[in-house]
Amino acid sequence: MPIVPSQLEQLRQYTTVVADTGDIEAIARWRPVDATTNPSLLLKVITQSSYASLLEESLAWARAKSHSREQQLIDASDQLAVAVGRKILELVPGRVSTEVDARLSFDTDASIAKAERLIGMYEDAGIKRDRVLIKLASTWEGVCAARELERRGIQCNMTLLFAFEQAVASAEAGVFLISPFVGRIMDWYVANTGVKQYAPDEDPGVQSVRRIYRYYKTHGYGTVVMGASFRNVGQIQALAGCDRLTISPDLLQELDASEDALPRRLSDDGTRTERPPAIDEARFRWGMNEDAMASDKLAEGIRKFAADQRQLEKLLAERL
């Protein structure tokens, strides 16, 4: 009998699958093209035995670089992020995304400096910059930082993206990739409306990504759309054909266990129209102000990533 491909294998025929995890065993099992990390994932992985040597390496490196406790924490945190990224790159053929400290989300110059430092650390370790994406929160300041970094040959992944204005500004800045957060958009609508369940095609997170995808293709933007933050496989299935999807190990498992047909839902039909006038800061900020969901989720996401970064630093401080 012919082997029936799983939904995961079907998805891989028209979408690049990215692992939304820093777990080495999960990455080795699911063989994604790329992988992405953030402070929350780093916080989880440093307690795993497979990362013990990387943790010790990062602490030793920080001690040798400075006698300042404050600087040692910064150095250990940056080195750990890069060390985990290097480990992931041993397993994936593509890229790893490494995140700029969320506490710099409203400081363009500091975000640029941190990104250049992280890329420099990768390059010092023999990793070329074309294998790393720098993750930045999709604030106006983050978009401005990304525009300059892209000019300097450092490609970016715009995260915590919820509003259409964030997507438009990112594309106009020439960023390599955006990560619209499907599940977190749905979470907000479930919490703030009378609707507690959505069919995939009516899911507001799915609809947001579809709108962005169509806009990018129609207007000829090269920025990659990578759906992220999924809550169920229905959301993934509804976005089959999106440029990339970053998926957690449990949902990869669910897709791999199903042999049902998975039709392509998104594709570029080649239609092109003239781009509208560029978005400026005032229009960006007004659009965010008018979108309660996007404003709430962006602020919440920055707070949570910042809290996880502080917790990570607390754990590192205990070891220094």
pLDDT tens digits, one per residue of 28-67: 899 999 998 888 888 887 777 778 898 999 999 999 998 8
Residue 234 CA to residue 174 CA, distance in Å, equals: 31
Residue 290 CA to residue 190 CA, distance in Å, equals: 19
Catalytic annotation on 128?
A: no
Residue 117 CA to residue 289 CA, distance in Å, equals: 33
pLDDT tens digits, one per residue of 139-159: 999 999 999 999 999 999 999
End-to-end CA separation in angstroms for the chain: 59
pLDDT at 291: 98
Q: Which two tokens stand for residue 10?
A: 């079907």
Catalytic residue among 114, 135, 217, 297: 135
Q: How far is CA 188 from CA 89, 148, 183, 194, 195, in A?
A: 34, 32, 9, 11, 11
Angle CA(142)–CA(180)–CA(199) in degrees, nearest 5? 160
Residue 241 CA to residue 246 CA, distance in Å, equals: 13
Give the pLDDT mean for 111-123.
98
pTM of the model: 0.94
pLDDT over threshold 70, residue 272: yes
User: What DSSP designation does 245 have?
Assistant: E
Beta bridge partners of 132: 96
Q: Which residues contact 72 (CB under 8 A, 6 or more apart)?
A: 62, 63, 65, 66, 320
Q: Which residues contact 277 (CB under 8 A, 6 or more apart)?
A: none
pLDDT at 2: 62
Q: Which pLDDT band, with edges at 50, 70 and 90, does 320 fall under?
A: confident
In total, the chain counts a number of residues equal to 320
Residue 161 CA to residue 288 CA, distance in Å, equals: 11
